[in-house]
Chain A
């Protein structure tokens, strides 16, 4: 079934058609969220929120690219999630019992991040890029993610972030410039092409 037909059915209240649309776009939505949030769980939360929000807002869909519309909701959900994270107080590192004694080896201290084998499997370049991406301001991060990760054109990005194309262009240029500066600190980790370019710049 074609996307336009699925959209029409979904707008009419067909949940299966809606879920079909979700399945078509959930991967790109989750990846954009992941690059913005830099955390898998937070990205999953944001994506799920975006899907629920999209279901509620289906009747406000006025045509155009469904993917762009979905990504707009996803980026907004990411902004909301980032705001929520800032509001939530962080858990103390050394939790205490009611008697004031330190809890030894609490369950939550377990390192759930990637183990050594997994680390070996992950690309060093990816880590470096993700680190630099995370250090960017939100507005730059979103634009560079949408253009370079999701492969959206400028017009789509302008629609997604709700800003003029000129803003998209300037934000993208600054984001890329900042990324290049940041990646200079990871020259040993980067592939030959990166290293070569950075070394030439330093001469």
Chain B
């Protein structure tokens, strides 16, 4: 049986250290004691010594030629000195920049606080929706009573008023007037005619009104044209067109669309291209060597 198999790896390491004189004096004395007690270890040491002598006795090969550099070779070596690292570093820097850009965009889009400038319209709309619901209810209740619109012969003037009871609200926004729930009129101004009472369905939807009000840019057709002289005795009520009321979802889309990336896509593409090109050149140069 081979005795070497009985020698553990740890003992082999110790044998090497002993043989190569890499042990401290204390450890060496300790190991020498073990060597005297263990013939296997002693034999292994002899084998290893023989191997080392054999390796050391290998003839020294003469160099086939001088490895010194000529001026030309030195110049060439100097020229290529910065080429490979330059492309390597350019590729690495581009990749780091890309990583930083994508990382920061990811962080900003996922972990930053909501931006009030963008979120405000949505919040306002949510509030308006809640508010308009209550107004709707109130309006429905009041609509059971007859509603009158008074012509004060002032086109584009004040909104409907109320007398004797619950006064209707009036508002003027340019040529847009809304009158709600006015009570029965007991006094009549000159040239005024009582208008036909409005039905509940004729009322302007408060939801629409609230939404429209929240959007400044939306132009709304006049709800009521003033009663002209030739139209005395008539009330012309114009239902507002089905103006596109920006829903909450649509507003969110607008908010998303307004979120532009921090860095332009072109720059990202250029960086990615640069990283790939420099990396490829670096690889080519490296393998050509």
Residues B16 and A169 in contact, CB atoms below 8 Å apart: yes
Query: Which residue of chain B has the shortest Cβ distance to A29 in the bound complex?
Result: B67
Q: Within 8 Å CB of B16, what residues of A?
A: 169, 172-173, 176
Residues A40 and B46 in contact, CB atoms below 8 Å apart: no
**Interface check A119, CB cutoff 8 A:** no
**B14 CB to closest chain A CB, in angstroms?**
9
Q: Is the interface of B mostly helix, strand, loop or mixed?
A: helix
Q: Within 8 Å CB of B264, what residues of A?
A: none
Q: Is the interface of A mostly helix, strand, loop or mixed?
A: helix
Residues A52 and B77 in contact, CB atoms below 8 Å apart: yes
Residues A48 and B67 in contact, CB atoms below 8 Å apart: yes
Query: Which residue of chain A has the shortest Cβ distance to B63 in the bound complex?
Result: A30
Q: Pick the contact of A153 from B20, B60, B73, B80 — CB < 8 Å? A: B20
**A94 CB to closest chain B CB, in angstroms?**
29
Q: Beyond A129-B54, A176-B48, A194-B54, is A22–B74 a contact (Cβ under 8 Å)?
A: no
Residues A52 and B78 in contact, CB atoms below 8 Å apart: no
User: Which of B1-9, B124-132, B156-164 forms contacts with chain A?
Assistant: B1-9
Residues A52 and B73 in contact, CB atoms below 8 Å apart: yes
Query: Which residue of chain A has the shortest Cβ distance to B84 in the bound complex?
Result: A56
Q: Within 8 Å CB of B55, what residues of A?
A: 129, 144, 148-149
A to B contact number (C-beta, < 8 Å) = 129
Q: Within 8 Å CB of A176, what residues of B?
A: 12, 16, 48, 51-52
Q: Pick the contact of B43 from A22, A169, A200 — CB < 8 Å? A: A200
Residues B20 and A154 in contact, CB atoms below 8 Å apart: yes
Bound-state CA distance A169–B69 (Å) is 36
Contact mask B33-60 → A, CB, 8 Å, 1/0? 0000000000100111011111111111
Contact mask B64-99 → A, CB, 8 Å, 1/0? 111111010110011011000000000000000000
Q: Beyond A169-B16, A170-B13, A173-B13, is A123–B43 a contact (Cβ under 8 Å)?
A: no
Bound-state CA distance A148–B41 (Å) is 21
Residues A23 and B22 in contact, CB atoms below 8 Å apart: no
Q: Within 8 Å CB of B46, what residues of A?
A: 197
**Interface check A97, CB cutoff 8 A:** no
Which A residues, 139 to 196, have Cβ-Cβ distances below 8 Å to chain B?
Answer: 144, 147-149, 151, 153-154, 169-170, 172-174, 176-177, 179-181, 183, 190-191, 193-194
What are the 3 closest A-B residue pairs judged by CB atoms, nearest first?
A148-B55, A19-B68, A173-B12
> B: which residues have CB within 8 A of A?
2-4, 9, 12-13, 15-17, 20, 22, 43, 46-48, 50-69, 71, 73-74, 77-78, 80-81, 287, 289
